[in-house]
Structure formats: structure tokens, C-alpha cells
Amino acid sequence: MKFNVEVGPQFEGERVRKDDLYIEFGGPKVGAKVELATIKKMDEVEHGKITIIGPDIGDLAEGGSYPLGVQVEVAGPELDKDMEPVFERRIHQYCNYIEGFMHSAQRNDVWIRISKDAVKKGLTSLEEVGKVLVYLYPSELPIIEKVAVTFITDSKKVEEFLPSALTVYKERDERVKGLTEEVVDEFYGCTLCQSFAPTHVCIITPERVSLCGAVNWFDGRAASKIDPYGPQFVVEKGELLDANTTIYSKVNEVVAEKSMGASSVFCLHSVFGNPHTSCGCFESIAFYIPEVDGVGILTRDFSGESVNGSPFSTMAGELSGGKQVEGYIGMGVEYLRSPKFLKGDGGLRRVVWMPKVVKERMKDSISPEMFDKIATEEHAKNIDELTEFLNKVKHPVMSGEFS
Ligand code: SF4
């Protein structure tokens, strides 16, 4: 198959920086962005069909940020609905095979950057990207027989598409409710983000969704079955070495091997000691605030500065790249609902600040007692205001009674 730009795993990890940027789709400057993979019946997918709704790359002004919806429809006699998230995450991998094309984040956080060089070489249409996806899906995952791709760049149409995608994400996230780490025999790992973060390893348990929020325990299980030699794999638990911060012996062994020795101990549920590594795709950050001995939560879509004065981009730059940075973890937002959320640190009783929109989204998972004690940007814009608020509401961190 011939493309205008080169395509192959050698381009995974290639960054498109500001000076080389032609245009971007999605990302922090754009509200309407989404990607979704859907399994259809064999007769519902016209293999190779690529549809573009709205202006194409070549029609858009250089330097701009534009809305984008990507829908990948796949079919095959052996496909199962549970495989959809696995196929959706491959959008990230396969798009990053394209020279001068950088895909990051996922779901309704997706961010794509296209370089000037790639456009000069002929990447002037999303059709080219669609052709790459149509070529790669069945060749990398033979269980897929048909693929059709739709790109939506019309802002109104992306907005119309978004609610149905959000419903699908919610249904997927809810499947793991009630399943615990104790009752399953194995966890799953993912190293897909090693192209950008070479020592990063995601450990996905029933009570810890991936950092990108797009891979839960069921998705990890489905992915490891579909493609046993792929980026998602089975992780045996081994012996529970620390029930509080949650350290398992075999998890440590896998992390040491997959991170090429960079990390050898992983606390699954703590920001202290040896926290989970962070790639760059995380939906949110949990960060320690020493002045109040509490933990703040900052999400990718929060446009202002967090209560400690750092915007998301600054904080993300400090912890990304596959490092273990004590006091910080990248995390999927749904991890906040987990009964094991930062279990080793006091869980939600240790949380002192989060954006208002996140607090509202998590309302049904935060106890009424704690709900009014967690500050948002409306209560505190800096550490002094936060301290005052926490004292006023008698937050557990102020008396040290959070465990
Ligand atoms: S954040 Fe984790 S689960 Fe998601 S793609 Fe990256 S390595 Fe895989």
C-alpha cells in the first residue's frame, strides 16, 4: 500500500512541536472532540469506505485548532462487543505510525497534531489517514475483516455525535463495578504508551482503570486474548506484599521487566513511596499538597491554574515520560470512584481540592460528609484560601484523621 507520507512503527513517539505544527484537531483549545470504535454486523460495513464530514486538512487555515470526531466501524464474524475499547485504543497506535502525525489522549480528550512537513509531502486529506487505518486494522488484527472510517470536522456535527459516545464510555466504565482485586486471579498490563514514555507500564486492575481511562480490566482481558503478543498482556498478581499501598510481588516483576529495570516496585494505590508511573495520556493528575497534607485532583480539561498555582500542562510535564514521581500520579478520572482509590493514603478522605465539574460528576461516589469538605476553584484559588476553607469545614486532613 502506497501513502504520501511514510507509515510504520518507527514514527511512534514522534512529536509535532509548536514550530513545526501545521494544524491540530482536538486538544485543550477545542471543546468538540471525540473518537469511538464500534463493532457492526458484516453487512453493515462497507470495507474501505472513508467519509469526511466537514472541511478537510487542506481546506483549513494553517496554525488553527479544529474540532474532530473519528468513528471507526469494524466487522468480523468472531468479533464481540467487549472488544470495542481494544479496537478504539488502536486508533492511537496506528495513527502514530503516520509520519508527521501525532495522536495523544483518547475518547473525548483526543488531540491530534499534523506537521508542516507531512502536509508538504502530501498529507492534505484525512482520507489518507483513513486509508492507513483501513490498511492496518485487518493486517495487525486479522480477527477484523472489514473497516470503515468517518472523520467529522464540522463542529455542530461533532457536538451531535458526542452524547452517544459519552453514553458508550459510561456503559463500558460501569461494567467493572463490584469486581474487586481480591476475587480476580490476574491483572492486565499495557505498554502502548512506551512510544512516548519508554519506561511507562500501566497496571490495570478491576479497581484501577488505566491512566488514559480507555482501558479497564475487561478491556485488558479482551485485548490480551485478541492479540497475545500485543501491547496489552496478562499480569499475575503473586503475593500481596503490602495490603495498604497495594504492592504485589509478580506485579513488581512485570513492571521491572517491562520498564527495563527503571521501576521495580509499584504501589497500586498510593502517590507516596513508589507510585504508578505516568505516561502522557493520563486524563487527570492526583498531586500531593504538602502545606495541607492533602491531595488535589486536576483534570486535563481544566483550563485554569490548579490550587497550587500550576496549570495541567506544567504539572503533566513534570510527571510524564514513564517516571515514578513521588507525590504525583497520572490517572483515569473514573479511578476516583474506585473503592481502592489511593487506599494507602486515606482515599477520598485525603482529597482536598478538585475542579467543580469533576466534583459534580463524582457526586454519587463521594460520601455526603466529604462532598462539602472538598474545595473547588470556587472555594479556593491558592493554598492560603484552601487552608482557610479546610479549617472552616473541618476537613479530616486538618486533624490528621483521614485514614
Ligand atoms: S495510558 Fe496505559 S492503558 Fe492507556 S494506552 Fe497508555 S499504556 Fe495503554
pLDDT at 365: 94
**Over residues 1-6, mean pLDDT:** 91
Orientation angle between helical segments 84-95 and 217-226, nearest 10 degrees: 70
Residue 103 and residue 164 in one domain: yes
Which of residues 153, 174, 195 is at a domain's end?
Answer: 174
CA distance 365 to 240: 27
Residue 155 and residue 221 in one domain: no
Is 179 within the bounds of a domain? no
Residue 247 and residue 105 in one domain: no
Residue 195 and residue 131 in one domain: no
- Quote the number of domains for the chain: 2
201 CA closest ligand 1 atom index: 7
Residues 198, 239, 215, 360: is their CA dihedral positive or negative? negative
Q: What pTM did the predictor assign? A: 0.86
Q: Give CA angle at 320 (400, 132), nearest 5°.
A: 140
pLDDT tens digits, residue range 365-378?
999 999 999 999 99
Residue 141 and residue 245 in one domain: no
Residue 155 and residue 19 in one domain: yes
pLDDT tens digits, residue range 314-323?
999 999 999 9
> Which residues, 6 or more positions from 264, have their beta carbon under 8 angstroms from its beta carbon?
252, 255, 256
User: Residue 246's closest CA among 182, 329, 177?
Assistant: 182
pLDDT at 301: 87
Inter-residue contact 273 to 242 (CB < 8 Å): no
Q: How far is the CA of 222 from the centre of ligand 1 (A)?
A: 15
Residues with beta carbon inside 6 Å of ligand 1? Answer: 89, 190-193, 202, 210-212, 214-215, 279, 281
pLDDT at 1: 80
What pLDDT band is residue 127 in, cutting at 50, 70 and 90?
Answer: very high
Residue 169 and residue 274 in one domain: no
Residue 241 and residue 382 in one domain: yes
Q: How far is the CA of 376 from the centre of ligand 1 (A)?
A: 28
Residue 357 and residue 261 in one domain: yes
* Parent domain of 133: 9-174
pLDDT at 228: 87
Residue 229 and residue 360 in one domain: yes
CATH number for the domain spanning 148: value is: 3.30.1650.10
Inter-residue contact 258 to 189 (CB < 8 Å): yes
Residue 167 and residue 206 in one domain: no
Residue 162 and residue 41 in one domain: yes
CATH number for the domain spanning 270: value is: 3.40.1470.10
Q: How far is the CA of 107 from the centre of ligand 1 (A)?
A: 12
Q: What percent of the chain has pLDDT over 90?
A: 93
Which of residues 142, 174, 206 is at a domain's end?
Answer: 174
